[in-house]
Amino acid sequence: NYPLNETFTTLIPALAMGNTAVVKLPRYGSLCQIPLLHAFKECFPRGVVNIINGDGRDVAGPIMESGQVAALAFIGSSRAANILKKQHPMPNRLRCILGLDAKNPGIILPDADIDLAVRECVTGALSFNGQRCTALKILFVHRSIADAFVKRLSDAVDALPFGLPWEKGVRITPLPEPGAPDKMRSLVDDAVKKGASICNSNGGISNESFYFPAVVYPVTSDMQLYTVEQFGPVVPVAVFDNEHEVFDYIVSSNFGQQASIFGKDPKRVGPLIDVFANQVCRINLNAQCQRGPDVYPFTGRKDSAEGTLSVSDALRCFSIRSMVAATESDAGKELLREIIHERSSSFVNTDYLF
């Protein structure tokens, strides 16, 4: 997806707060990091930014087992994060900033603007081939508009231009992982065997690492696509008759990052917000799930995240507040004045004011 952004969204605040860092590069997309690695080498003292590469199980485990890691910033699966955390021998010394799994639902109410909802759901589900944690991973559509919505969604997906990433105007590209199309096929085949259909004409067509997005409908609770994060170009669509079915889904879900609500009636949207606000960390009204602007908190509940990222929150994640206190006496004040005047402490100083 976007490995450069995901690396530096945590590395930059870590360095800004005075930490040294060990960076394990992502499995895919490492080459785009090289220009910045040269810049780090030129700008920082030796040992401040340390780069390692290789299989995470082989290189990250021994580092965690050393007990010398004070903060773990990790973007990946909750399963891998749990393994890394357990490898640290002193868990109370470890602070974690984790961006993990998600199964973000989109809820399309009966009065939704269907054209708007389709447009946002196509972008929300399939930008970066659906390989981002903020993607819409399942759509719940009210039965009264389900057939019309699925027809327009399928037509819009089939119209997406595909090709190689550097070709102008391309929206769908091959997947970076060799086994990803097989995973998509497995999830779709499971749904089809249990009664769902691929609704768009090109859905599921594949060649080597390419997989054309499949709109799968109707998805039900006995299908893997109902609960499993696909992390790829598959758009599951489920039907609901009343909002309590959606409530039950989101409350019982193992994930809790974001949700999108499409509708105009405040009496229907409001109660959804009230339930979702205790289950996810961002509710998008008539818009796709997304990250940013970065002044907003980016986090999740359950198996979706630990810690919060935004410009200010990220700086807090990589620092622990410390203070120096003196009694309100002439001696105490004089001591602090002398420390500042003589610049005898790097911590107690006012140089940052100038």
Q: Give residue-wise pLDDT tens across range 214-256.
A: 999 999 999 999 999 999 999 999 999 999 999 999 999 999 9
* Residue range(s) of every CATH 3.40.605.10 domain in the chain: 3-100+304-317
CATH architecture observed for domain 104-293? 3-Layer(aba) Sandwich (3.40)
Q: Which segments in the chain show pLDDT lower than 50?
A: none
Residue 178 is predicted with a pLDDT of 86
End-to-end CA distance of the chain: 41
205 half-sphere exposure, CB direction, 13 A CA radius: 11
* 313 phi/psi in degrees, rounded to 5: -65, -40
User: How large is the angle between the packed helices 266-276 and 243-252, nearest 10 degrees?
Assistant: 20
**C-alpha span between 34 and 38 (Å, rounded):** 6
The tens digit of pLDDT for each residue in 147-165 reads: 999 999 999 999 999 999 9
pLDDT for position 306: 96
Contacts of 82 (CB under 8 A, 6+ apart): none
According to CATH, the topology of domain 3-100+304-317 is: Aldehyde Dehydrogenase; Chain A, domain 1 (3.40.605)
DSSP per residue, 210-228: EE--EEEES--TTSGGGTS
Residues of the chain with CATH 3.40.309.10: 104-293
CA dist 213 → 119, 267, 324 (Å): 15, 34, 58
Q: What is the pLDDT of residue 14?
A: 95
